[in-house]
Amino acid sequence: MSKANLLTSGNITKQLIALTLPLLLSNIIQQLYNTVDMIIVGRFIDDSAFAAIGVSGTVMNWFIFMIVGLCTGFSMIFANRFGAGSGPELKRAISISLIFGGAAAVIFAAAAFPFLRRLLDLMQTPAALTGECISFLRIILFGILLCYLYNFMTCILQSVGKTNVILIFLVISLLLNLSLAVIFVGYCRLGVSGAALATIISQGIAAFLSMIYIRKALPFLKITRTDFVFDRQMMHVTAQYGTICAIQQSGLYIGKMMIQGIANSMGEQAIMGFAAAGVVEVIYFAFTGSTSNALSIFFAQNKGFGNYARINRGMKTALKLLISVCIVLSAAIFLFSHAMISMLISDKNPQAILYGVQYLTWIAGPYLLAAVSDIMQGYFRGCSHMNTAFIVTIIQIGVRVAVSYALPPVLVLRCIAIGTFIGWSAMIAAQIIFYRRYQQETMTSSM
């Protein structure tokens, strides 16, 4: 089995940077899928279509990140087996995960399909936007298996350190998405449905290309018929890791949809402002999220190898690197929030611009808490503490939603910023308690 991308020895700083940068660019590009759709429908159709894509994007991300959660759990298993040098177990884990995750994605899509209108109603989506939102989401659900296959191929490549390859295929996919969206929306006049079709088709092509690459360039990952054998223990681990991570991501996005409901209740201008601020926000989170994902792989490989001292060094290195970067990002968002929002919303909607700017200026400082919490989440996932990662996420969601709804509506989007700050604070407090406990257990077991 190839050892070229093992993270169990070498310069930690260089390895984390090399692993994180492609993931960072990939995360930013991935977030641009919905942004591209928003901009194209806003230019070719109208502001209502722009707002509809913003609302639909929140729901779509719930579907997508359920799949991402499944694949995140799977990637921890793959990275652990790769770090341990266990080729047969790695291929068996891949084959079992492929079947389990594909079946789970189809079942989830089928279960969600009849409840789209009810879900949008719960989010207090304006009636004028509901029809377009449903059209968009139905197509996404029909193509959910393609989304799963793309994310599954990505998690395989990520687990063995091939993050640069992920980036290449994602760039190809985004360019296809952009081209198809312009054709379907601008020339074929398919409306928001055309944007959804462009997203599904482009991800399907990316999945196919990734599959070909794995078979040709990474022969030690090539799955044959003999690898598709039932392994009760591996199935249990696969189901446990995948399900916990999927529920965690689901819970996170249910919370986000509830937060979206607050913005929706404030009218179309607030929806537009929040959607535009969300575009800026996801770019920031791309930095914290990509570092968290890189750390998860780093920790999982070293846990498989049994190198806990290297795990601790990786944690300290990541904190120094990410906090330094995020201080600069937070300052930039605070100082240039108006320019950022104005790039996404036209001058004929000054109230929407104002709402978006208010949100960003209030949340810019607290964004630093997200950097710390994401590093801790990377530690919990990579070291197989999946339940802990889930628990602290639920704490953050519960506190964030409760505070945001409790604050007076006169604060508009600022109430969401305050709720988010308090939610992150509660999450970090819980993470520190768990982290110290695991550190003590590790020290005790090594004595």
Tens of pLDDT, residue by residue, the chain (447 residues): 555 567 788 888 888 888 888 888 877 777 666 677 777 777 777 667 777 777 777 778 778 878 888 888 898 888 888 887 777 888 888 889 999 999 998 998 899 888 888 888 877 788 888 888 888 899 999 999 998 999 999 989 888 888 888 889 988 888 898 889 888 887 887 878 888 898 899 989 999 999 999 888 888 887 777 777 777 888 888 888 888 888 887 777 777 778 877 888 777 788 888 888 888 887 888 888 888 888 888 888 888 888 888 888 988 898 888 899 889 999 999 999 888 888 888 788 888 888 888 899 998 888 889 889 999 998 998 888 888 988 998 999 899 999 988 888 778 888 888 999 999 999 999 999 999 888 877 666 554
Name residues whose C-beta falls within 8 Å of residue 350's C-beta, 6 or more positions apart in sequence.
none
What is the model's pLDDT at position 182?
87
What is the model's pLDDT at position 234?
83
The number of angstroms, rounded, from the C-alpha of 320 to the middle of its chain's C-alpha atoms is 23
Across 390-418, b (16+ Cβ under 10 Å) vs e yields: bbbbbbbbebbbebbeebeeeebbbbbbb
What is the model's pLDDT at position 272?
84
Name residues whose C-beta falls within 8 Å of residue 306's C-beta, 6 or more positions apart in sequence.
none
Q: Which sign, positive or negative, has the C-alpha torsion 278, 281, 286, 289? A: negative
Read out DSSP for 286-333?
Answer: HHHHHHHHHHHHHHHHHHHHT-HHHHHHHHHHHHHHHHHHHHHHHHHH
What is the model's pLDDT at position 447?
46
Tokens for 296, please give them: 């998860």
What is the model's pLDDT at position 445?
55
Q: What single letter denotes the amino acid at residue 354?
A: L
Burial of residue 14, with CB atoms counted within 10 A of its CB: 0-12 exposed, 13-18 middle, 19 or more buried: exposed
Q: What is the enclosing helix (H) or strand (E) of 345?
A: none
Collapsed DSSP state (helix, strand, coil) of residue 344: coil
